[in-house]
Amino acid sequence: MMCKKKLWIVLALCFALAIWKIYISVSPLSKSLDEWLLQDSLMKEEMCYHNKCIGLSSWDWFCDHFDASVNCLLTLENSDIPPEVLQWWLKLQRSKDGSQIQQMVQYLFDLLQSPTARAQDVVHCGTCAVVGNSGRLRGSKYGKKIDSHKFVMRMNTAQVTGFEEDVGARTTHHFMYPESAMNLHPNVHLVLVPFKPLDLKWLASAFSTGDIQQTYKRVKQFIKADKSKILIIHPGFLKYIQDKWTRHHGKYPSTGLITLIFAIHTCTQVSAFGFGADSNGNWHHYWEDNRFAGAFRKSGVHNGTFELQLIERLTIEGKLVFYK
Ligand SMILES: *[C@@H]1O[C@H](CO)[C@@H](O)[C@H](O)[C@H]1NC(C)=O
């Protein structure tokens, strides 16, 4: 008698579970519930707390530079840029008008279907290859090694076609600013590195009206890229790199260093390719033959020497693997 009762209870429970499962699978709520659960687990467990500095003070070189609490990405929630960050940011490329940035970010995120919800996309754990554009990559045969990473981050006008053997074929994240922008394949994250408020305006324009065609030089009027995968670096993250990493060597950090530090913050393991001069001491890009192309080094905007020393030191500290 008891046994039969228990059996009935178990059967009833199974039935209820089956009904619930069916309900969940057809309910329009199910997707968002799944997404919510996924996001929750990404935030709690899978987020990369690989680099942490709890309890380590300034005597540790890495922890004296690294700040885990800094926001890498601009979102609706953190678009109220602190005054000291704003003041520094406006000076980078002599911008005059820093008002209405929040409205601009709001407009941008309406247009781009709110990438805020996807901010976690980049923060799952995994190995990352950060591929700089140095001529050093020519003939390196690093292509297969680069492609074997979960994430492959490239920057500016990086070319892939025709150079696969040396630089790989995959890209998951492409860091750029308006003046270095290029069209991307579907599924690649466009990561905007904004050096001025106009860069945010340009992004909105390049995906809509196309009314911005000129910054300090002519820029792409429209851009082809996956609208749902756009990420924007927070100006505060740039200031953090300038304060804590380059320590005011150069006017502001290069896109290469920004990408590397981003990777240090978001990946379990970082490999750096294509940084530094080639074996002849030239700083041209791997797709160019012009050995004078590294003239930016003399402009004083970035201090390439200091940035390279940082990369060497990060290698010694075991925070990245530097492929020369
Ligand atoms: C770059 O940084 C180095 C220190 O590593 C310094 O000696 C050099 O003067 C700096 N160069 C410029 C152009 O500021």
Q: Using CA positions, which residue lies closest to atom 4 of ligand 1?
A: 306
Q: Is 86 inside a domain boundary? A: yes
pLDDT tens digits, one per residue of 191-234: 999 999 999 999 999 999 999 999 999 999 999 999 888 999 99
Instruction: With beta carbons less than 8 A apart as the criterion, state whether 187 and 204 touch.
Output: no
Q: Which structure tokens are listed for 151?
A: 């994430």
pLDDT tens digits, one per residue of 180-189: 999 999 989 9
Q: Is 15 inside a domain boundary? A: no
Q: Is 45 inside a domain boundary? A: no
End-to-end CA distance of the chain: 77
From the list 190, 244, 235, 213, the residue with the least C-alpha distance to 93 is 235
Residues with active-site annotation: 252, 302
pLDDT of residue 37: 39
Domain count, the chain: 1
Q: Is 243 inside a domain boundary? A: yes
- Kindly state if the Cβ of 106 falls inside 6 Å of ligand 1: no
Question: Which of 245, 283, 303 should be mutated for ligand 1, with most atoms under 8 A from CB?
Answer: 303
CA distance 160 to 188: 13
Span 132-149, average pLDDT: 95
At 73 the three-state DSSP class reads: strand
Known binding-site residue numbers for substrate: 93, 133, 156, 216, 252, 256, 276, 285, 302
Domain that holds residue 198: 70-286+296-322
Task: Calculate how far, in angstroms, residue 305's C-alpha sits from the geometric centre of ligand 1.
Answer: 7
- Kindly state if the Cβ of 251 falls inside 6 Å of ligand 1: no
Q: Is 42 inside a domain boundary? A: no
From the list 191, 188, 274, the residue with the least C-alpha distance to 234 is 191
pLDDT band for position 172 (cuts 50, 70, 90):
very high
pLDDT tens digits, one per residue of 7-66: 677 667 656 666 566 554 544 444 444 444 344 333 333 334 456 666 556 678 999 999
- Kindly state if the Cβ of 255 falls inside 6 Å of ligand 1: no
Q: Is 49 inside a domain boundary? A: no
pLDDT of residue 124: 58
Query: Which segments of the chain does DSSP mark as H helices, in order?
Result: 2-26, 29-41, 61-65, 83-92, 101-111, 143-147, 164-167, 197-206, 235-240, 255-266, 296-299, 304-316
- Kindly state if the Cβ of 303 falls inside 6 Å of ligand 1: yes
The CATH number for 233's domain is 3.90.1480.20
- Kindly state if the Cβ of 305 falls inside 6 Å of ligand 1: yes
Q: Is 65 inside a domain boundary? A: no
Q: Is 46 inside a domain boundary? A: no
Question: Which of 245, 248, 249 should be mutated for ligand 1, with most atoms under 8 A from CB?
Answer: 249
